[in-house]
Structure 1
Amino acid sequence: MGIAALAWSTAALADYRVTCESRDNRYQRCPLNQPGYVTMHRQLSNARCRKGRDWDYDRREIWVDDGCRAEFNVATYGHEHHRGSSHGGSSRHDDHKDAKVAAGVLVGAAVLGALIHNANKHDAKYDDEGYQGARHNSYVPAWMVGTFTGYNPIHNASIRMTISRDGEMTAVADGQTLRGWVNGGELHVGSEVFTISQSRDGFVTSQVGDRHNQVHYHRTR
């Protein structure tokens, strides 16, 4: 199936809400039904709930500490067809297949050229006031934040990706939009996970389980 046959827009496939409470100021973990992009919906405690300090999350759970109690939104990004598709009506099976192909548009091409690693071995995150320690999985370093462009030679598609400081990712390829999130230094697109490695002028995404699946992104702003 070619990229032109895909006709879909992003939507929240499985939004849900989790309440997590630090009782007696103790550390508490609350499991996630599905991994997703987590934001605080409503603080319920008098104690402060500061992301990275009093709460954070990863693919498995939300944690709270120091008396923080809050409701959290979890967004798992899916898609729905919103234009006429060349393959007619969609089914849940087709949607799943389309999502896989669309994820491939973003990160499924082997890009020529070697990755230029940052020669500075010092981890810059320790110089960033936004980094709050080892449990701050949702931390996004400054070099990941911004708008980047890449190219997929297999589908002959240019990709424009934007990553926010809060870790939300939006990418547009051939007029189609894909959403995901950064957590634990990795890019999550539905059920797929990709490492992100800094390069001289942007970064390279590599699919977990297939390191040859890479796309080199260059910063545009």
Structure 2
Amino acid sequence: MGVSRAVAALLIVSTSALTIAQTGGLTCSSDDGGYRYCRADTQNQVQLTRQISGSRCEQGYSWGYDPRGIWVDRGCRAQFVYGRGRSRGDDNTGAAIAGGILGALILGAAVAAAKDNENGGDRERTNYYNDGYRMGRQDADNGRRNFYQWWSERYPMKYERDFAAGYTDGYNNNGRRPPR
């Protein structure tokens, strides 16, 4: 069950990586020779694809861009493509690699969690051992006799051995530190 959740998470991450790499196009016009800003998520990738105006369209002189959009000035009117994937031959390799790495990490964590559950829950076992250790230390520090049976009745039988081992180590102060 945990692995199927991981596969679903991997699909979501892969889709997100492709969404990040979206592209778009627009026409931006400098009406009456004045400055105009056309908002777009350019991802700092813009390419002029077709000049429409008779006025000169030259990057840095009559058009430019930033991450939030494209600007035109001095009568430039043109069509632009923007975003990763189309301009400058970018093929989304970076986004695909990042999505794959993140997906692999998520899948690995899900497989590890599924194994953890199959093995009786190593984290739960550690928690019960730690509880036992603390209770054993508490009883020993307060001069009480070994009350393991009283404490163990409060924990599931599935983890009784883990609790008992921790209690014994704590009560006898075997010098071992409890696992964290």
Q: Same fold (TM over 0.5)?
A: no
When Rg is computed on C-alpha atoms for both structures, the one with the higher figure is 2
Quick check: which one's strand share is greater? Answer: 1
Tell me which interval the TM-score lies in, with the shorter structure as reference length: 0.3 to 0.5
Quick check: which one's helix share is greater? Answer: 2
Normalised to the residue count of structure 2, the TM-score between the two structures is: 0.38
